[in-house]
């Protein structure tokens, strides 16, 4: 992984968290996964925030053997759709809550009590563990690591294992990502310095459809870790190149308070038919001499779709440079289990260092507690 257009920092602070040194017991996870010894086709993961954002990134980017669904809301329309698509005899339901006291998780879980259920939690006194014990459901342990930083733990890896992903390679990529202290700190410092110059928004666009599910993880990391005491920036994420047909107007033509952050994959490797993989454009001879703005369609012939996608990126970046809009690019050599894990760990470090630079706690989220308590009081009134 490379960070383009950014000077690396040599004065990385000594601050570090034991969270980044945690090594999950992969053998333990495999033993727990083997307890689901029936021919299931679907994996439903119920959770909120950091309980599901890492797995969502894995699921979007990597090949899996199962149909995966993420439920992060008690929305009846969502529950109805998932239940319609996932019969009980072909489905494993995994409910994740570190504290065990996330009301929305318990509410959604009640819609699946007749399914095969696994609970992943830490709190001994949490309501979710108590429910699982009463219902004789399988319990998988969650370590004492904040949810948004838990991608390398059971919270991120166990659902990936159920889905048939190669969690050893993902974990290896995460471990390598935690070594990227210099580029992570450099990006955090880049954002920090520009915030003091009035750049209070960060526009992240991924020029890869399968990386678009990093959206919620990046936003959560940068908002919950950093935005405290009136500090921090607003992050928004858009899938590119579709973003060029809406958000680029804001980026180029709106207030000059936005930093661009592009994520690209330089290469693709060929995969079996039906899997992700690059293809080449084939132009019928009948239309080869037609043109669009002077570009003859025969020029497209045999260009890879990845090359076409990167041309879209170069168009946006070149225009941002012309307009002197600050921007950087995160470049993956290719999209693999390892590089996806590395990207996840890298953003964790960016969030961590961003909080350290602003002298706020990277691991709490005090502003969200009261609204959650109000929700419980509202439910009591019903």
List domains and CATH numbers for the chain. Answer: 18-165 (3.40.50.10490), 174-268+304-357 (3.40.50.10490)
- Closest listed residue to residue 304, CA positions, set 268, 252, 342, 346: 268
Where is mean pLDDT largest: 4-8, 253-257, 281-285? 253-257
Q: What are phi and psi of 203, to 5 degrees?
A: -100, 110
Q: What are phi and psi of 178, to 5 degrees?
A: -70, -10
Percentage of the chain with pLDDT > 90?
87
Task: Give the tens place of pLDDT for each residue, 66-110.
Answer: 999 999 999 999 999 999 999 999 999 999 999 999 999 999 999
Confidence of residue 272 (pLDDT cuts 50, 70, 90): very low
343 Cβ contact list (under 8 Å, min separation 6): 1, 177, 211, 214, 263, 330, 332
Tell me what pLDDT residue 64 has. 87
346 in the Ramachandran plot: left (φ > 0), alpha (ψ -120 to 50) or beta?
alpha
Tell me what pLDDT residue 24 has. 98
Task: Give the tens place of pLDDT for each residue, 153-181.
Answer: 999 999 999 999 999 999 999 999 999 99
Mean pLDDT score of the chain: 94
- Closest listed residue to residue 40, CA positions, set 163, 166, 132: 163
Task: Give the tens place of pLDDT for each residue, 99-151.
Answer: 999 999 999 999 999 999 999 999 789 999 999 999 999 999 999 999 999 99
Task: With a cut of 70, say whether residue 268 has pLDDT above it.
Answer: no
Query: What pTM did the predictor assign?
Result: 0.93
User: What Å distances lie between residue 124 and 49, 93, 322, CA to CA?
Assistant: 21, 21, 56
Task: Give the tens place of pLDDT for each residue, 198-248.
Answer: 999 999 999 999 999 999 999 999 999 999 999 999 999 999 999 999 999
Q: What are phi and psi of 97, to 5 degrees?
A: -155, 115
- Over residues 242-263, the mean pLDDT reads 96
């Amino acid at each position: 992984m490379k960070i383009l257009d950014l000077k690396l920092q040599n004065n990385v602070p000594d601050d570090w968290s034991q969270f980044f040194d945690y090594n999950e017991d992969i053998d333990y996870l495999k033993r727990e996964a083997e307890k689901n010894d029936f021919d299931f086709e679907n994996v439903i993961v119920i959770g909120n925030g950091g309980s599901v954002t890492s797995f969502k990134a894995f699921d979007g980017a990597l090949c899996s053997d199962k149909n995966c669904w993420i439920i992060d809301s008690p929305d009846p329309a969502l529950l109805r759709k998932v239940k319609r698509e996932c019969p009980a005899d072909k489905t494993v339901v995994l409910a994740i809550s570190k504290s065990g006291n996330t009301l929305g998780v318990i509410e959604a879980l009640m819609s699946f009590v007749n399914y095969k259920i696994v609970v992943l939690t830490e709190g001994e006194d949490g309501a979710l563990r108590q429910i699982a014990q009463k219902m004789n459901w399988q319990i998988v342990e969650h370590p004492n690591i904040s949810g948004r930083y838990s991608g390398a733990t059971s919270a991120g890896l166990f659902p990936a294992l159920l889905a048939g992903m190669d969690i050893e390679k993902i974990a290896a990529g995460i471990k390598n990502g935690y070594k990227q202290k210099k580029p992570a700190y450099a990006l955090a410092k880049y954002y920090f310095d520009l915030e003091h110059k009035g750049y209070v928004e960060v526009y992240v666009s991924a020029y890869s459809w399968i990386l678009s599910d990093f959206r919620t993880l990046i936003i959560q990391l940068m908002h919950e870790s950093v935005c405290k005491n009136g500090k921090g920036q607003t992050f928004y994420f858009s899938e590119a190149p579709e973003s060029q047909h809406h958000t680029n107007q804001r980026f180029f033509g709106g207030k000059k308070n936005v930093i661009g952050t592009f994520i690209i994959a330089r290469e693709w490797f060929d995969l079996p038919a039906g899997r992700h993989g690059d293809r080449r454009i084939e132009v019928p001879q009948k239309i080869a001499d037609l043109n669009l703005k002077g570009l003859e369609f025969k020029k497209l012939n045999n260009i890879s779709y990845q090359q076409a996608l990167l041309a879209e990126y170069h168009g946006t970046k070149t225009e941002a440079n012309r307009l002197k809009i600050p921007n950087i690019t995160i470049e993956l050599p290719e999209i693999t289990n390892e590089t996806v894990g590395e990207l996840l760990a890298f953003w964790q470090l960016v969030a961590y260092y961003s909080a350290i630079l602003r002298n706020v706690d990277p691991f709490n989220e005090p502003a969200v507690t009261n609204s959650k308590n109000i929700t419980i009081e509202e439910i009591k009134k019903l």
